[in-house]
């Protein structure tokens, strides 16, 4: 990636999604001072799509308006050498998708109180965004529209942050260019969104409830063999009893989850605040307070597993190289016959 007027110094590539690749970078401030940031660069084939880029930049600028501890801050949106980018807060940690996958792999469940605490923090961020107004006090009507585990970041310090606010419409348009962009995300859409109806802030809350259900039970809720089946499951919105899947789920948490996952939006929690308060009451009832340190402990476990996996992969590659070298050394190394004189590659032309 090219540097942008030397304001950002790219350190390393840390990931790639359907629309962009992400780099760890330093933002140059005053001489001698810099700030660690994440730079999201739009993939080249999408950067050439003018309509996509218009939507992407318009929606990305929404992030500049948002400032909350549970939302990843956006610092800059721009272009350098035909590369469009978003500069945002660097979160040192993992996403909730990685957390889910590790617990699933180990056939284990996240402690219920930790799962509820994470959901409460997500609700705090959504409450701020959903109630944001302009300078005249008029509601801006901000909705995320793409709340899913990959867009929930957990830091080593136990912070919970939502990322990619406002990019859902651009992602839908990009899907026409690359159908894989939204693959795997349809398990977190609301019934009304799956039916193509107008969705509002309550769809964001529905997605939060799906994630909490899955963390609490260890079972995917609307997860089909492909995206079409996932959409069909979301449209039907049939929710099995959480306590049937995990008897340790308190009855109070089950009531909250079933209300949050009601098929009719009018039967759900109407605001992120009311949903978050209901979960907070469940936490008090459980009598197991959760600090940011507990969430940070979960992040440490996932990062440790990631490092172990990387070490195992490196060891496997090294073993394969050694095997190839041994096979090479076992070959007959007798000198090959010289090439014909008229095909001498080093002929100096004399």
Does the annotation count 146 as an active-site position? yes
The domain 8-89 having CATH identifier 3.30.300.20: the answer here is: no
Q: What is the DSSP string of 221-273?
A: SS--SSHHHHHHHHHHT----HHHH-TTS-HHHHHHHHHHT-SSGGGS-SSHH
Contact call for residues 132 and 65 (beta carbons, < 8 A)? yes
CA pair distance 298, 191, nearest whole angstrom: 31
Domain boundaries, the chain: 8-89, 93-302
Question: 81, 82, 146, 342: which is the annotated catalytic residue?
Answer: 146
Residue 239 CA, chain-centre distance (Å), reads 24
Q: Say how far apart CA 54 and CA 290 lie, in whole Å.
A: 42
Instruction: Report yes or no: 66 and 130 within 8 Å, Cβ to Cβ.
Output: no
CATH number of this structure's domain 93-302: 1.10.510.10
* Report field, pTM of the whole predicted structure over 0.85: no
In degrees, rounded to 5, the angle at the alpha carbon of residue 301 between the alpha carbons of residues 19 and 260 is: 65
**Helix residue ranges per DSSP H, the chain:** 44-47, 50-60, 62-65, 96-105, 112-130, 168-177, 191-194, 201-217, 227-236, 242-245, 251-260, 272-286, 292-329
Each residue's pLDDT tens digit in the chain (350 positions)?
Answer: 555 456 888 889 988 877 788 999 998 887 778 899 999 888 887 778 787 787 777 777 888 889 999 999 999 988 877 778 889 999 999 999 999 999 999 999 999 999 999 999 999 999 999 999 988 999 988 899 899 999 999 999 999 999 988 655 544 444 444 444 444 468 899 999 999 888 899 999 999 999 999 999 999 999 888 888 988 999 999 999 999 999 999 999 999 999 999 999 999 999 999 999 999 999 999 998 899 999 999 999 999 988 876 555 544 445 554 555 555 444 544 554 454 444 443 344 44
The distance in angstroms from the start CA to the end CA of the chain is: 47
């Amino acid at each position: 990636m090219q540097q942008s007027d030397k304001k950002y110094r790219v350190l390393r590539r840390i990931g790639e999604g359907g629309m962009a690749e992400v780099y760890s970078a330093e933002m140059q401030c005053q001489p001698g001072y810099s700030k660690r940031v994440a730079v999201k660069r739009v993939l080249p084939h999408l950067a050439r799509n003018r309509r996509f880029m218009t939507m992407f930049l318009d929606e990305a600028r929404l992030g500049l308006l948002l400032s909350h501890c549970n939302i990843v801050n956006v610092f800059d949106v721009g272009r350098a050498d035909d590369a469009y980018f978003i500069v945002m807060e660097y979160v040192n940690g993992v996403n909730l998708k990685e957390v889910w996958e590790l617990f699933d792999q180990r056939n284990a469940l996240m402690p219920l109180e930790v799962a509820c605490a994470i959901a409460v923090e997500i609700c705090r961020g959504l409450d701020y965004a959903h109630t944001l107004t302009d300078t005249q006090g008029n509601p801006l009507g901000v909705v995320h529209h793409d709340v899913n585990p990959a867009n929930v970041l957990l830091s080593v310090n136990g912070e919970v942050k939502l990322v990619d606010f406002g990019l859902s419409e651009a992602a839908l348009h990009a899907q026409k260019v690359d159908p894989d962009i939204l693959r795997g995300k349809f398990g977190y859409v609301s019934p009304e969104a799956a039916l193509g109806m107008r969705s509002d802030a309550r769809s964001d809350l529905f997605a939060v409830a799906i994630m909490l259900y899955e963390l609490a039970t260890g079972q995917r809720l609307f997860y089909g063999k492909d995206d079409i089946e996932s959409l069909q499951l979301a449209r039907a919105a049939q929710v099995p009893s959480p306590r049937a899947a995990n008897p340790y789920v308190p009855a109070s948490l089950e009531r909250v989850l079933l209300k949050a996952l009601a098929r009719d939006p009018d039967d759900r929690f109407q605001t992120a605040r009311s949903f978050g308060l209901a979960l907070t009451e469940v936490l008090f009832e459980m009598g197991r307070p959760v600090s940011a340190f507990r969430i940070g402990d979960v992040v440490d476990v996932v990062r440790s597993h990631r490092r172990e996996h990387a070490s195992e992969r490196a060891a496997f590659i090294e073993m394969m190289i050694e095997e190839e070298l041994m096979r090479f050394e076992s070959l007959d190394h007798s000198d090959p016959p010289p090439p014909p004189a008229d095909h001498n590659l080093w002929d100096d032309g004399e």
